């Protein structure tokens, strides 16, 4: 019986931890998308040299890759929560 209670507590701690991570990821993704919008506006509104346009394109591509990776992580975390299989995330 005690082992069952301990496992339930671990599950609850893990679920809270993963829910917190999901919220942080969502906020981070939203902030990066705002930055991406800013880059797109900057590209459209001003006359830029080829080098400046290239730098903005590189920043945009890096942001898109980062957002995609964070979206994948968020999807995985939400999937584990939805399945009822949260785990404590260990950071080394």
pLDDT tens digits for the chain (92 residues)? Answer: 577 888 788 888 888 888 999 999 999 999 999 999 999 999 887 788 889 999 999 999 999 999 999 999 999 999 888 887 766 555 54
> What pTM was estimated for this model as a whole?
0.79
Angstrom distance (rounded) from CA 46 to CA 92: 44
Nearest-5° Cα angle at 18, 87 to 70: 110
Q: Where are the domains of the chain?
A: 2-83
């Amino acid at each position: 019986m005690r082992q069952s209670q301990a496992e339930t507590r671990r599950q609850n701690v893990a679920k809270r931890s993963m829910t917190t991570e999901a919220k942080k990821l969502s906020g981070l993704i939203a902030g990066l998308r705002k930055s991406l919008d800013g880059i797109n506006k900057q590209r459209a509104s001003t006359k830029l040299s080829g080098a400046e346009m290239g730098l903005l394109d590189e920043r945009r591509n890096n942001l898109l890759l980062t957002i995609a990776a964070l979206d994948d992580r968020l999807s995985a975390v939400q999937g584990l929560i939805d399945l009822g299989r949260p785990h404590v995330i260990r950071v080394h």
